Structure 1
């Protein structure tokens, strides 16, 4: 009888924990592959009230029976062993204690710890194995379960708590799964970084991935063929901006492939007299996120855009390749390519002023920067903290890190040295 009770209790323990621990994504995958048991588990997870009520009925009933049967089954045997060495009253009391201890130990190990450990190791497989018998028991005990479940729902409403579980999967859940996979060695470093970068598309602005104004190579409509050829040779790109006179008077853009075809055919290149070369350019505001500019690329069937600020001044250009490079990260950047933030042997970092803040946060292990939303780059962070244009040797300390401007090109922050300091100092700029 004790063995039967332990087996039954183990059944209910495994049924309860396996259902709670089963991953919906894995079950959905198995159900899509045609496994009807996975579909049954998913259906039970949607409305687990009766299921868990039956589990609790079984567990509590078995616990009461175990106490009754255990005392009657083992106490007389322990008493018979102890009577030759002690008085009858002491033998009875000690026999009862030993019987209680043995039955409790067997139930704790065999009916609770071992089944739950097995269920945690393979929750989906165990849940799919036990879901059939549990559904049968749920149907048999449905009247009792309905009454107990209704009473539980009433108490939950009185307490102001939700009656049904919220199974919504958020991006935080996906990131947590990726982190768990990374720690388990299933997800590689670069793959985890790609997953994080994808979710950052909704928060990163286009300025974090654009080619800034001063680095744009563009043509003027009046540039002659010699100047166009020279500029292409010195700064090879797939696309070039075309302007009327200065960079803020954008006319369109020209594809390098079209220029090369003209050269191969021996035809002259004249931007003003040959408007067919110039294509209409997509103009986007500088406050768009990378996800939003991806949508604009798709709608306009373009992969090149000019970024302007609220005064209609050009602040940069961005391509589809720039966005994808931000997503792919180290999967597309080789060691030979220049990195915006580099860790040195002494633990410090050397970073470009245009390094996006999310990249700085990731490298330094910081959860946040002060005054979020007011800047997108490391240079912008220094400007906000100093309340002026940074100059060489300017220093800002934040959360135990020291940011020192080591190189300034005109008014642009070129290089910043980042070192660890102790103790951390919050939001304290130092000139």
Structure 2
């Protein structure tokens, strides 16, 4: 009869240890749920995700019901284990029960279930949410009482229980998240997402076409010269000005010019009439802002001006999109012609190449917060235009000028210092 009693107590003890493992794994899994994935599943009306999300809206009550259940189960298990040990070994059984039960609970009801829950939170949290939801209703008065006492104690330490932490991610945190996505995110998509995140750090001045490279229509020229230029241009939109690019009076779309040609009404006045008013953009405008401005204004090209109103260059919608998705047209692949790899690991680079393009093509980290071209970067570092070829170090790269002509550094030999040491 006594053996049957002990067997029943052992079965009950085993059941209590299973319950303890349930509460321990539930606590860990609920807290380990990815909040952003959870919100995504909630939007898709995932029933288990909705239950878990509602429980997490009040973490004090969730933790309260879990700990009430866990402590009740563990205390009851301790009492039963002690009763079994006393029946088997007498007074010495109390010490034996304490040691054995501690190890059993630690291994089977704490470490193992919590580790499993941390590794697979959704598999455990979603089914457990149904049981916890029922338990919360059953023990609500007790949970409310414990929560009220706990919240008042927290207020003494200046903690507001109802105030949730900031779940929003900063740009740097998002960038880290994208970098660590690994195989979960295709390399192409990863590059595009990083390009979007970098838009707010790059200004129009960083990617604009400088004024000396801007092709435009000078209305002070003869009509014959203008038509010759228009027939040979590769652009669909061109700025129109009088004498100097600072005197921009409009932006001409080649489609409108084609209509003039069909009607046989090509004159300077007609060209000016079908052109659109120029759209000016401050040079310090972040690309993220400018992309939205292009959308709001229904524009694809803007005239970049400095703080004095002087034209610095032009920026197009395509230029901004290329920062996100990479080069869109073959004409921009001319950068390959500006960079010539050598057998010793160095590169011959054209002095007019843009620093940002060099960094992108070679995965370098030349400074981009100053001059935009390699020639400008070298002259700024030297604080003067060299009279003869010189060798210098910029960031972690050794720079050697090879050709200087007409006050412009034509060709440069560059090599990363660390790579140079390996040769």
TM bracket (short chain): 0.7 to 0.9
**Alpha-carbon deviation of 1:55?**
1.9
- Aligned partner of 1:200 in structure 2 is 198
Richer in helix (by share)? 2
Which one of 22, 25, 49 corresponds to residue 11 of structure 1?
22
1:287 correspondence with 2:298 = no
Select between 216-225 and 314-323 the one with higher mean Cα deviation.
Answer: 216-225
Cα distance in structure 1, aligned partners of 2:404 and 2:86: 87
Decide whether the 8 Å contact of 1:397 with 1:403 is kept in 2.
yes
Unaligned ranges ≥5, structure 2: 1-11
Number of the residue aligned with 1:238: 236
Cα displacement (A) at 1:64: 3.7
SS of the residue corresponding to residue 202 of structure 1 reads helix
Q: Which residue of 2 aligns with 1:337?
A: 333
Q: Deviations over 1:93-115 (max 9, x none)?
A: 9x939x835x4454344323443
Write the distance in 1 (CA, Å) between the matches of 2:377 and 2:157.
46
The answer to whether the aligner puts 1:356 opposite 2:367 as a matched pair is no
Residue 187 of structure 1: how far off its partner (Å): 0.7
CA distance in 1, matches of 2:24, 2:402: 63
Residues 1:298 and 2:295 aligned together? yes
The one of 321, 327, 337 aligned to 2:318: 321
**Cα 1:328–1:74, aligned 2, differ >3 Å: closer, same or farther?**
farther
Aligned to 1:190: 188
2:6 is aligned to: none
**What does residue 220 of structure 1 align with?**
218
- Deviations 1:228-286 (Å, cap 9, x if unpaired)? 344345441111111111111101111122233444x2725333454323211101111
Cα distance between partner residues in 2 of 1:155 and 1:349: 67
Unaligned runs of 5+ in 1: 80-87, 424-431
> For residues 120 and 184 of structure 2, what CA distance do their matches in structure 1 show?
17
Which residue of structure 2 lines up, in the alignment, with residue 148 of structure 1? 146
CA contact (8 A) 1:353 1:413 kept: no
Q: 1:58 aligns with which of 54, 64, 69?
A: 69
Structure 2: distance between partners of 1:112 and 1:76:
27
1:176 paired to 2:187: no
The CA RMSD measured in Å over matched residues stands at 4.0
Q: How far is 1:379 from its partner?
A: 6.5
Q: Does 1:166 align with 2:165?
A: yes
Structure 1 counterpart SS, 2:134:
helix
User: Which TM-score applies when normalising by structure 2?
Assistant: 0.78
Which stretch of the first structure deviates more once superposed, 167-176 or 236-245? 167-176
Preserved contact between residue 353 and residue 416 of structure 1 (Cα < 8 Å):
no
Deviation per CA, 1:291-313, whole angstroms, max 9, x where unpaired?
Answer: 22223222322111100112221
Please give the per-residue CA displacement for 1:50-108, whole angstroms capped at 9, x wherever unaligned.
Answer: 1012222333343444444445557987x7xxxxxxxx99xx69x939x835x445434
Q: Is the 8 A contact 2:339 2:347 kept in 1?
A: yes
Structure 1 residue 22, shift from structure 2 partner: 1.6
Q: 1:54 to 1:212 in 2, by over 3 A?
A: same
Please say if 1:21 is aligned against 2:32: yes
* Counterparts in 2 of 1:346 and 1:152: CA distance versus 1, 3 Å: farther
Structure-2 residue corresponding to 1:38: 49
Which 10-residue stretch deviates more, 208-217 or 126-135?
126-135
Is it true that 1:96 corresponds to 2:92 in the alignment? no
Shift of 1:10: 1.8
**Counterpart in the other structure of 1:107:** 105
Provide the rounded CA distance (Å) in 2 between the counterparts of 1:62 and 1:358. 65
Is the contact between residue 225 and residue 268 of structure 1 (CA under 8 Å) also seen in structure 2? no
CA contact (8 A) 2:300 2:317 kept: yes
SS in 1 for 2:268: coil
Shift in alpha-carbon separation, 1:228–1:130, aligned structure 2, 3 A: same
Alpha carbons of 1:160 and 1:385: their partners in 2 closer, same or farther (altered >3 Å)?
A: farther
Of 295-304 and 243-252, more deviation after overlay is shown by: 295-304
What do the CA deviations read for 1:26-45 (whole angstroms, capped 9, x no partner)? 22222222233322322222
- Supply the distance in 1 between the matched residues of 2:377 and 2:151 (Cα, whole angstroms): 51
CA shift, 1:176, in A, is 3.4
Aligned with 2:302: secondary structure?
A: strand
